Every structure is written in structure tokens, then in C-alpha cells.
Amino acid sequence: MSIPTLSFSLAEKSAIVKLMYAVILADGYLHPGEINAFKHFMYAFDFDSNFIQQANAISKEQGEMILLQMPAEKKRHFLQLLKDMAKSDGFVHKKEIALILNFCATIGIE
């Protein structure tokens, strides 16, 4: 998984976690590869399970609005994180693709 070198604000991290979690759950199955990739992400971004609970308290729409405000470079890093997460189980499900494309359209990534 490629980890961005950019600094993300707490609100941005919350939104990223919220939307990444949605991608993990999109196919209805929590694969061990996704769990491992998410643990790696947690370590790299320095947050714990309490932060995940807080991030999941925001709505998907709130997360998208936060990410819409990010600069293009951060958005590209976010997109790469989503792609890496979707691939982490060895198979990219069509529901994951649809969700990622939806996020891209909503936050202005081509």
C-alpha cells in the first residue's frame, strides 16, 4: 500500500478513514488482506481503533464534503489509498469500483 507523504488534518484523516472503511465493506466481505492493509494504514497515519469509531460517526456525505475541500494533490493520494485498499484482498469487486468512482466524482477527481 502506498502511503502519502503529505500531512492530512484530523478532519481529513477522519473523512479518509470513513470512506476507506466504506470501500472495505462494499463487497460485503471483510477479507484478511483488507484487515492487514488497514492496519498498515492505521500505523502509517498514527491512529487507533478509537479514532475509527470517531471517524465512523461522521456521515459519508460529511466525509465527502471534507475531502472536496482538499487540494488536488491530496485528493490524488486519497484515490491511490482507495485503489490500494480495494486491491488488498487480491480482487477488486465491481461494488468497490463503483464506490470509488462515485467518491471521485463527488470530490472532483477525474
The pLDDT tens digits of the residues spanning 85-99 come to: 999 988 899 999 999
pLDDT score at 91: 87
* b/e sequence 52-75, b meaning 16+ C-beta within 10 Å: beebeebebeebbebbeebeeebb
Q: How confident is the model at residue 4 (pLDDT cuts 50, 70, 90)?
A: very low
Model confidence pLDDT, tens digit, residues 46-80: 888 888 889 989 998 999 999 999 999 999 999 99
> How much of the chain exceeds pLDDT 90, in percent?
51
